[in-house]
Amino acid sequence: MQIGQHVLPHGLCLGPMAGFTDHAMRAGCHERGAEYTVTEMVSAKAVCYGDKKTPLLARVYPEDGVCAVQLFGSEEYYLAEAARRLTDGCAGGVMPAAFDINMGCPVPKVAGNGEGSALMKDPTLVERLVAAVAKATPLPVTVKIRSGWDAAHINAPEVARAAEAGGASAVFVHARTRTAMYSGRADYRVIAAVKAAVSVPVVGNGDVVDGESALRLLRETGCDGVMVGRAAVGNPFIFEEILAALEKRPYTRPCGEAYYQAALAQLHMRAAEKGEAAAVRESRKQMAMFVHSFPAAAACRARIHEAATVAEMADILSVLR
């Protein structure tokens, strides 16, 4: 599949997750096979108002591979102006691969404000927002949507067509409704319907936890790529596993030492960018997932949430070795 000038041979994508997909996680996943990564969601208004914390969220690095910036908002002006500023601000730096408009976030403070998944209630607004951003930047514009607002309003194909009409270069579909949040099973029939509704690339998201489930998503939907979200937290090796499955190669899960080194690399990269205290604080959930499937995980998680320094965290993680 292809987004703009970027060819993604296997369509392996790391999904955007607030509080997780910072530079450290994106770099770790790209190193292990993610062909496309996306930043944490960035407030369009925060970009326009000059919020001091926002530039770090929106920054793209060479180690991220092909990386898009995800914007959220509900007003044409702010989304377009944010895309324009971030495009101009990258002169001499690393240009994002695309701007993705968040139309899938289900959390109340976003959807309740008319943003995120709430945008799916108004396909005509979706078209206008995509068109406004596409006019403001030469970079591709994509959207990440859900199945719909609730089970009575499954309108992902209609929303995808509206996005395409506005100029979207690709559509990412999480096959759950907003009201379902992250519960239940993803309905792959919705992804298949979106694929049939538009001519741009469609990437499926939901319940991909290993190579076998990635193959199932592709087989049942006919979509162009796979986006992995929660299953990549603490397990960047999932992309190696999916790639092996796609290429019909045997796969052996890495040893604990490999997990230890991957976790430590994320921790040190985060500390170099954000300072030790912030890095340790922001790493706790990720580090807890690194030890999730290893012996004594419960005891380790308790200690991880009490760690205050990189050295303390590294010592706790040594249980992986």
% of the chain with per-residue pLDDT over 70: 99
Residue 88, in any domain of the structure? yes
At position 149, the amino acid (one-letter code) is W
Whether residues 228 and 266 fall in one domain: no
Give how many domains the chain has, as a whole number.
Answer: 2
Closest CA to 232 of 286, 178, 183: 286
Q: Would 260 be classed as within a structural domain?
A: yes
Q: What confidence tens digit (pLDDT) does each residue in 133-155 have?
A: 999 999 999 999 999 999 999 99
For residue 50, the SS3 value is coil
pTM score, whole prediction: 0.95
CA triple 76-165-151, angle to 5 deg:
85
Q: Are residues 163 and 301 in the same domain?
A: no
- Smallest Cα–Cα separation from 37: which of 199, 219, 222, 225? 225
- DSSP codes, 155-188: -HHHHHHHHHHHT-SEEEEESS-TTTTT-S---H
Q: Is residue 310 part of a domain?
A: yes
Residue 321 CA to residue 318 CA, distance in Å, equals 5
Cβ(128)–Cβ(166) under 8 Å?
yes
Contact between 10 and 43 (Cβ < 8 Å): no
Q: Do 305 and 221 share a structural domain? A: no
What residue type is 99 in one-letter code?
F
**DSSP one-letter string for 267-313:** HHHHHHHH-HHHHHHHHHHHHHHHTTTSTTHHHHHHHHTT--SHHHH
Name the helix (H) or strand (E) containing 38.
strand 36-38
Per-residue confidence (pLDDT) for residue 87, from 0 to 100 = 94
Separation between Cα atoms, residue 181 and residue 89, nearest integer Å: 35
**Do residue 237 and residue 273 come from a single domain?**
no
Boundary of a domain, candidates 246, 274, 297: 246
Q: What are phi and psi of 282, to 5 degrees?
A: -75, -15
Tell me: the pLDDT tens digits for 59-93?
A: 999 999 999 999 999 999 999 999 999 998 765 56
The reply to whether 101 and 213 lie within a common domain is yes
Cβ contact 136:81 at 8 Å: yes
In a domain, 289, yes or no: yes
Domain match, 230 and 265 both: no
Quote the pLDDT of residue 94.
Answer: 86
Q: 133 and 104 share a domain? A: yes
Please report whether residue 251 resides in a domain. Answer: no
**Are 78 and 180 contained in the same domain?**
yes
- Which of 213, 246, 279 is the last residue before a domain boundary? 246
Same-domain pairing of 225 and 267: no
Residue 303 domain boundaries: 256-320
CA distance 286 to 44: 26
Of 167, 238, 226, 230, nearest in space to 191 by CA = 226
Q: Which of 246, 270, 304 is the last residue of a domain?
A: 246
Per DSSP, the residues of 182-205 read T-S---HHHHHHHHHH-SS-EEEE
Q: What percent of the chain has pLDDT over 90?
A: 93
Please identify every residue annotated as catalytic. 105
Same domain, 285 and 183: no
User: Domain for residue 169, yes or no?
Assistant: yes
| C-alpha of 27 from chain center | 13
pLDDT band at 296 (very low <50, low <70, confident <90, very high): confident
> Which CATH number does the domain housing residue 292 bear?
1.10.1200
